[in-house]
Amino acid sequence: MTVTSALPARPPEGTRPEPPGEPLLRAVDVVKHFNVGVGAVCRAVDGVSFEIRAGETVGLVGESGCGKSTLARVLTQLTPPTSGRVIFDGVELTGLRGESLRQQRKHLQMIFQDPFASLDPRMTIGDIIAEPLTNFKVMHGKAKDARVQELLRVVGLNPYFNNRYPHEFSGGQRQRIGIARALALNPKLIVCDEPVSALDVSIQAQIINLLEDLQAEFHLTYLFIAHDLSVVRHISQRVLVMYLGKIVEIAPSDDLYARQYHPYTKALLSAVPVPDPRVESQRRLVELSGEIPSPLHPPSGCRFHTRCPIAQVPGVCSEDEPALEEKAAGRFAACHLSERVGTDLG
Amino acid sequence: MTRSVSDPVLEVRGLSTSFFTDDGEVKAVRDVSFDLAAGETLGIVGESGCGKSVTALSILGLVARPGRVVAGEILFKGRDLLSIGREELRQIRGRDIAMIFQDPLSSLNPVHRIGAQIEEAMRAHDKIAPREVRPRGLDLLRQVHVPDSARRVRDYPHQFSGGMRQRVMIAMGLSNRPEILIADEPTTALDVTVQAQILQLLRDLNRDLGTSIILITHNLGVVAGLCKRVIVMYAGEIVEEGSTEQIFDSPQHPYTWSLLRSLPRVDADRHERLRSIEGLPPDLIAPPQGCKFNPRCPFRLERCFSEDPELEPVGDGHIAACWVTMKRAYAEMGAGSLVDTGPGAASGVRPPIAPVGPDLSEPEGQGLAPEAHDRD
């Protein structure tokens, strides 16, 4: 297989240590609001900025309703943002329409959560995988057939299964088919939206390992979205934590477990079950009061203040919205009291 | 009563449940036996289709056609639930043994108020005096920490969040002070912070009320946090049972061992490659001969293809069904430093040349190209 995208050359040495790669994708103050009835606005994504560097895996975690899947759809331009910019490989996607946007999509693919709903049951898996090649007219006839067989082999499926239908495959195998389809056009970035959460435990590891192997082989960049912090931390170099439409913390995954700068991250980590009875018996759960507020009426100031165990209310937390700031090298958090997260919450 | 306090409250003996489909008999649960002591927390873990939920449904007589219990005894305080009448079973269900399910929304009636539904659960049995029903309903909602419960008893299910609905289900389950609560994937549909709260609630109920709990889940982390004893199921059978410490610290069945190593851990120091289990669980209509795990097992021996291992003691109160067991796999096959986890990788044993049944190749072959096995 030919790899179309060589890694971009690194910039000349500067005064600061350079990040491992150029940003491949940049989100600048991305906002996505949905109008839901009379004057009501759902603030699903409400001002999100971050970068993904070439060759990197960035994880995005958060609980249901935090806006992570909407953000994925905005980044891939499946839905246009209300405001803000998405810059992919030097091209501003948010300004593109029609054919020029379609051409960019070649480099930007998606893998979905539900391997049962995302494959057309009436198409053979050969046709499913070949569809992007047909749509973009990049290959025909024998070359296309050979490419499909090669893709099947790459994702660990028997190449002679191209005439079978999706129902003949298990969940894990269907996820491999979805991955093969995403790889067909040699994309640069793949957005994986909960790619393993519908799969059984023993199959999850197979798919995670496959994604890691493919990344090394084809120099892929991933945005990996999941609610399972163990999976996200395992596969990602950096983790973004989202709460109610905002990014509340960004951290290298190696450092995330040792120290958190946002109380929500701390609460999330404290709640993840660990398959070890000794660790479990020492669990200190950071309890959040109440429930996640509605994105139709997000709280004033810091959106987390209604549930935060250390918030000053009334005070700075219920009045001023904290900005996402660098709290330590490579550590970003949007919290007025980030210094207290490590101490007051144990 | 002649029964002693230390007797198990529930004894399952040789339970087998099958589904008779057009394609053949699906042996969903095969010869499953276990005890549940009073006040105990028992976890049943396994992947989808391993038989853990069907085991629970069989206990309560809730297996729907085309399925039925084909053999065994289910002794609740010495009475066999499989041989008593339907009405008698209906009285025990909900009163003495209660069950909560994964999806609380589909288990609640959308057109009735929450309070009425909890009260209905009590009125169906006569364990609670009629005039106590209403105050107890309110009290239960308080016990499961539904905030503002006096107002919320008048709400409908759609006005509750997923976590709150699961609390209502637990309140209903507890309403008749059952001795056993069977929780089938009670937190799978919930967010992780809510999951932690529900697990804490179950822990408290077990401690304060002495309710025995059977927790059915695929999540080994959840089991580690709640249960004292664990049963591991694979392809309809129990493959290992022991205390939580035994199962997590020194698993003896290769399936349990592999499952634990395939999990990413949030507290792991380094990002080691996950040791996946190759292949797929077997087809239960035509499972492989011998040990059901042989098509995926790195430590399999020749006899694993022909002889089905029985559960044997491997420690104090610890049993496993394996011809090898991990003790030997560590001593003789270098399990501690195993990198390739493919089938037969540690023992070097390949399947017999002539497959014993036409379907033997399926679970292992399943369209996986040879490279997929070699890659790990």
Place of tokens 């009563």: B1
Structure tokens at A334: 């949007």
Distance between CA atoms of residues B174 and B155, nearest Å? 20
Question: pLDDT digits over A240-282, tens only?
Answer: 999 999 999 999 998 998 899 999 999 999 999 999 999 999 9
Structure tokens at A76: 């891939």
Helix residue ranges per DSSP H, A120-252: 125-135, 141-154, 171-183, 201-218, 229-235
Three-state SS at B234: strand
Intervals of CATH 3.40.50.300 along chain B: 10-227
Distance between CA atoms of residues B5 and B79, nearest Å? 16
**CB atoms < 10 A from the CB of A108, how many?**
24
**Do B45 and B218 touch, CB atoms closer than 8 A?**
yes
Question: pLDDT digits over A75-92, tens only?
Answer: 999 999 999 999 999 999
* Residue A128 main-chain phi, psi, to 5 deg: -60, -45
Burial A120-144 (b: 16+ CB within 10 A, else e): eeeebbbebbbebbeeeeebeeeeb
Q: One digit per residue, pLDDT tens: chain A, 346 residues?
A: 333 333 333 333 333 334 456 799 999 999 999 998 888 899 999 999 999 999 999 999 998 889 999 999 999 999 999 999 999 999 999 888 889 999 999 999 999 888 778 899 999 999 999 999 999 999 999 999 999 999 999 999 999 999 999 999 988 999 999 999 999 999 999 999 999 988 888 889 999 999 999 999 999 999 999 989 999 999 999 999 999 999 999 999 989 988 999 999 999 999 999 999 999 999 889 988 877 888 888 999 999 999 999 998 899 999 999 999 999 999 999 999 999 997 777 6
**Hey, which residues does B233 pair with through a beta bridge?**
B238
Scan residues 329-358 of B and list those with Cβ closer than 8 Å to A. none
Give the global pTM.
0.88
Give Cα A62 to chain centroid, integer Å. 10
pLDDT of residue B2: 57
DSSP 8-class letter at A227: S
Q: Helices (H) and strands (E) in chain B — how many of each?
A: 14, 12
Chain B interface test: which of A270, A276, A288, A307 (most B C-beta within 10 Å): A276
Domain at B10-227, CATH homologous superfamily:
P-loop containing nucleotide triphosphate hydrolases (3.40.50.300)
CA B326 vs CA B220, B242, B317, B335: distances in Å: 19, 14, 17, 8
Say if B258 is an interface residue toward chain A (CB within 8 Å).
Answer: yes
Say if B5 is an interface residue toward chain A (CB within 8 Å).
Answer: no
ipTM topping 0.90: no
Chain A interface test: which of B194, B261, B266, B272 (most A C-beta within 10 Å): B266
Contacts of A270 in chain B (CB under 8 A): 196
Say if B46 is an interface residue toward chain A (CB within 8 Å).
Answer: no
Give B1→chain A minimum CA distance, Å.
37
Residue B168 pLDDT more than 80?
A: yes
Structure tokens at A217: 């082989």
Contacts of A201 in chain B (CB under 8 A): 47, 218, 220, 259, 262-263
Question: pLDDT digits over B86-139, tens only?
Answer: 999 999 998 999 999 887 778 889 999 999 999 998 998 878 899 999 999 998
Contact B280 A285 (CB under 8 A): no
Distance between CA atoms of residues A153 and A272, nearest Å? 35
Nearest CA in chain A to B282: A170
